Amino acid sequence: MSQDSSGPHVSANALPQGDAAPGDEHAGFDIASGIRGYLIGLVLAVGLSAVSFYIARSTIVWAPSIPIALSVLAIAQMGVHLVFFLHITTGKDSVNNVLALAFGILIVMLLVFGSLWIISNLNHNMLPMEQIMNMQR
Amino acid sequence: MSAHAPSAQAHEGYRFARADELHPHDKRVIVGYGFWIWLISDIILFSAFFATFAVLSENTDGGPSGRELFSVTTVAIETACLLFSSFTCGIAMIGAHAQNRAMYYWGMAVTFVLGLAFLGIEIHEFSELIAEGAGPTRSGFLSSFFALVGCHGLHVTAGLLWLLTMVAQVWAKGFREDIQRRLLCFGLFWHTLDIIWVGLFSLVYLVGVAPQ
């Protein structure tokens, strides 16, 4: 490597090399491998959806645990969509996208579980509606 | 090379590039990343609607609950429409990447038809609910249901309009570098709508009809 070779190519250092845009196909892909990726994603997504629809109406899962089972299946399917459709992978070139997503998930969790926690606590501490009505008389 | 550019090698940190330093590829990464950040903010918006629904889902005010209102068959058809439209959208994006016009136009056309079918079914479902007296004003549960599912429906509507403009742009301008960047964003948007629908059909509809 001659020292001069890096001189004119300032733009080569403009971004850390190897960052990928979210949604981009990996380098050197062809049409067949691209379609195969989407096809694998479709099969997995349809399979997970089918399982969700099945267990929601069957007695195969203990009834009180069905919402948990459906949540787990939904999260798994979201992962399938992220990897096979949005191409957000665990690869080194996707760290920027994954970090942004991780922060988003943190906020989503705070919002959803924080709301459920606070409101269930309020509901728990609130008088039954009949008693409130009686107090207003 | 390492001796010549010690700062880039030593820190490996991000630094902002001037616009004239950017490669076309760099610009694609920046545009995609920026749009991804916006999509995540959109997901956070949806999570607020999800939280509202989760909090209010029991508050039916003596009115109908999801168990009496939701049709699992309808939701299954809607889910199939969106899942296959995500697949065909992917096919269209591969077509755009390979600059294969037939593949791109057919992929976008099927995506549009499937998206429109989804939207039609959803509008039909909403109008039936309202006709039954189970409109958004009936109870807290129904208000949050219409807000959450309606917000997703509005996003699908916007996505369909965007899809049409992307078809027109490729038709008029071809697979230019800037059009390809817009297509990257459109593909991300469409697939993200599908991710949100996964949460909707699982946590709103299926949990709503599941035996207790």
**pLDDT tens digits, residue range B77-99?**
999 999 999 999 999 999 999 99
Contacts of B203 in chain A (CB under 8 A): 67, 70-71, 74
Give the whole-angstrom CA distance, residue B56 versus residue B50: 10
Task: Return all residues near B125 (Cβ < 8 A) that are at least 6 apart.
Answer: B71, B74
Q: pLDDT by residue (tens digit) across A14-72?
A: 455 567 788 887 666 788 888 999 999 999 999 999 999 999 988 888 889 999 999 99
For chain A, domain boundaries: 21-89, 91-137
**For residue B180, what is the DSSP state?**
H
Q: pLDDT by residue (tens digit) across B138-196?
A: 999 999 999 999 999 999 999 999 999 999 999 999 999 999 999 999 999 999 999 99
Q: For B40, which of A101, A111, A116 is closest by C-beta distance?
A: A101
CATH class of B39-209: mainly alpha
Give the whole-angstrom CA distance, residue B32 versus residue B182: 9
Residue type, B193: L
Give the whole-angstrom CA distance, residue B49 versus residue B30: 29
pTM above 0.80, yes or no: yes
Best residue of B9, B36, B101, B178 to probe chain A, by most A CBs closer than 10 Å = B36
Q: pLDDT by residue (tens digit) across B27-71?
A: 888 899 999 999 999 999 999 999 999 999 988 888 899 899 999
Give the whole-angstrom CA distance, residue B32 versus residue B37: 9
Task: Return all residues near A14 (Cβ < 8 A) that are at least 6 apart.
Answer: B17, B18, B21, B22, B23, B26
**Coarse DSSP helix, strand, coil percentages of chain A, rounded to the nearest 5 percent:** 75, 0, 25
